[in-house]
A and B are shown apart, each in its own frame.
Chain A
């Protein structure tokens, strides 16, 4: 319990509440005194010992609610709103230090539980098995019910195409595998085609952006006149596009 309290205090400190060791001891004594049965009582006891003024009380309430997320009740949901989603313990495979810095939520067994009626607890979605998702996926998945990512900036992950079972496509060869220099050369021969593909893609995008989402024949002829090249020749030259748009 002391460990969970210490991690909670760390979360408070991260949000700007100054907590001294003496105050932490007070908080642990307060928790001893009130017990862990009632979430609301635990919250009041911690608030009385850790938050010093009205501003800190607001921060405390926010951190407490985020940290000690009560089990959610869902009906038939598979991932959304599963109980304790915000407080999973990092799995043995995960890096402990990385997990520690990411998770500010105590493990479920340390967490004061909200009491539910029997009927409700039967409708809870089951915990996903630990092997269901990679640690990173859990770290960045949306918070249950809130539709936004966990703390952090990450908004998007671009996944690569699945590798075909039979090897052969040099573009899909795993680069971390043991490859000979000849195999590497074979992959390197694909680079010019990919450069051209990216160039064309970027050229089209910049063209659209410059003409407000529509292709404009007038703009094309103007730029051809300036560059002295036809539109088709121009399309191949990425530098001419970038120079004008920067």
Chain B
């Protein structure tokens, strides 16, 4: 799940919807990345179940409008949650190739005949090498793969977007530019489970 600035809002809404349908921790794991994937399952599961603690030191600080600041669970916003995830560098440039490759070579690599790989992001890799083969291998080890694209289809593959390389590697692509699109993606995921 890409949580960079442009995608964070879609990621928050996706989690708010999908968190109701998957058993986080036991059956599902969530890797948040901007450049390097970080296993954020514990923090996000806690946030979804409403057990996350608010971080007053961060919340009182004056800030501009941050994406995810309006998505709230038990007083903790998604923006705060992201900032609280250890080792997650939110100001790094997005690098999907590196994220997929790290996931592929890590011991947490998602695979199995009952595993569904869900990727959320816009595929904008800042001209870094997209390494579509890494995604291909990840998807090949799973029963199904879904990509929720947080952009309108008219912008897919334009400029630094590497979706033209990525999308052929997954089974299903969902145009998730708005809440309605994300809900369609979650419904497709629930159907696959």
Contact = CB atoms under 8 A, between A and B. Distances in A.
Contacts of A176: 6-7, 9-10, 122, 150-151, 177
Contacts, number: 202
Interface string A158-202: 111101000000111111101111111111101100110111011
Interface in B1-27: 6-7, 9-10, 13, 16-17, 20-21
A156 B171 contact: yes
A46 to B, nearest CB: 26
Interface in B160-187: 160-165, 167-187
Main secondary structure of the interface of B (DSSP, over half): mixed
A242 interface: yes
Contacts of B67: 179, 184
A95 B159 contact: yes
Given A158-B184, A185-B72, A198-B187, A135 B157 contact: yes
A172 B72 CA distance: 20
B185 A139 contact: no
Contacts of A19: none
Interface string A133-162: 011111110000000011111111111110
Given A198-B190, A238-B20, A159 B170 contact: no
Nearest to B165: A98
A246 B183 CA distance: 22
A129 interface: no
Contact of B175 (A139, A158, A191): A158
Interface of B: 6-7, 9-10, 13, 16-17, 20-21, 65-72, 122, 127, 129-130, 132, 139, 145, 150-165, 167-188, 190-191, 193
List the 9 closest pairs (A to B, CB-CB), nearest first: A184-B70, A152-B168, A135-B157, A160-B181, A136-B157, A98-B165, A185-B70, A136-B156, A139-B164
